Amino acid sequence: MSLPGVDTQSVRHTLDALSRVLDCSNCQTDALVLLMYFSSLTAAAARDAEQRRRLADEMAAARESAANLRAAIGAALSAAAEGDADPLWYLQDEYAAQKNAIHTEGW
């Protein structure tokens, strides 16, 4: 598994080195504690990477939503300037689309 921002090869080498230290009868307990510590760090890095990915996805969705709203505002202003009978339709349509997306995608 590849984790953004985590040197997995370095972690793997460290864990391999620690597993070889486990053969030492005088230091087995300390090495086991270190192995568990590095294992928990790797798990934490995986959780952090997943959270960064999720937040990046949410940011992209928010940017898309804002762009769509700006486009709807522009269309409504243009329609009003041209004397359209219902210039707010563009805003209503985009609002309904985003409201539906919130309910269906859980955003």
Structure tokens at 83: 């004397």
Sequence letter at residue 99: K
Residues contacting residue 30 through CB under 8 Å, at least 6 positions apart:
none
- For the chain, the residue count is 107
CA angle at 4 for the pair 66 and 15, rounded to the nearest 5°: 155
The pLDDT, as a whole number, for residue 22 is: 58
The pLDDT, as a whole number, for residue 97 is: 92
DSSP H or E stretch at residue 25? none
Task: Give, for all 107 residues of the chain, the pLDDT tens digit.
Answer: 565 666 777 777 777 776 666 556 666 556 667 777 778 888 888 889 889 999 999 999 999 999 999 999 999 999 999 999 999 999 999 999 998 887 776 65
Sequence letter at residue 59: M
